[in-house]
């Protein structure tokens, strides 16, 4: 299976990468693609988990009963817990 790179800038970048790493062009391209795929998959997993956490916190907020306490409600001017909180 052959890949033909017709863009001069891309060809130059690939050759520079291969030269800097001491790898062949095919190996340099393969590793670069694998690294990018790994990074993108991690970002995708992060976004999925972030969305799950956001949905969970929304459900918790919707199910909370009563007043939501602030730091001022819980701590006095010295930063110590209020006795009446």
In the chain, what are the domain boundaries?
8-74
Q: How confident is the model at residue 12 (pLDDT cuts 50, 70, 90)?
A: very high
pLDDT value at 85 more than 70 = no
For 25-67, write each residue's pLDDT tens digit: 999 999 999 999 999 999 999 999 999 999 999 998 888 877 7
pTM: 0.57
State the pLDDT at residue 69: 84
DSSP labels for 9-68? HHHHHHHHHHHHHT--HHHHHHHHHHHHHHHHHHHHHHHHHHHHHHHHHHHHHHH--SPP
């Amino acid at each position: 299976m052959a890949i033909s790179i017709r863009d001069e800038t891309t060809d130059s970048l690939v050759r520079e990468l291969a030269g800097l790493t001491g790898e062949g062009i095919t190996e340099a391209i393969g590793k670069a693609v694998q690294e990018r795929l790994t990074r993108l998959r991690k970002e995708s997993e992060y976004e999925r988990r972030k969305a799950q956490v956001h949905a969970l916190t929304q459900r918790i907020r919707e199910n909370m009963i009563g007043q939501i306490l602030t730091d001022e409600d819980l701590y006095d001017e010295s930063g110590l817990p209020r006795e009446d909180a």
